[in-house]
Amino acid sequence: MLSIVTNFIESEIRTFKLFLYIQERVTKQGENTMAFLMLSSQKSLLTMRKNDLQYQYSCLLNQVQNLKKEEADHSKYQEEIAEASGTEWDMDADGVYQALVKEEERITVEADSFQSQIQIVDQEIAALKQLVQTDVKQATQLSLLGGS
pLDDT in tens, 89-123: 899 999 999 999 999 999 999 999 999 999 998 99
Model pTM score: 0.67
68: left (phi over 0), alpha (psi -120 to 50) or beta: alpha
Q: Work out the average pLDDT over 68-78.
A: 96
Domain residue ranges of the chain, discontinuous segments joined by +: 2-145
Whether the per-residue pLDDT at 148 is higher than 50: the answer is no
Whether the per-residue pLDDT at 125 is higher than 90: the answer is no
Angstrom distance (rounded) from CA 37 to CA 40: 5
More confident residue, 111 or 132: 111
Q: Work out the average pLDDT over 66-78.
A: 96
Of 23-27, 51-55, 65-69, 130-134, least confident by mean pLDDT is: 23-27
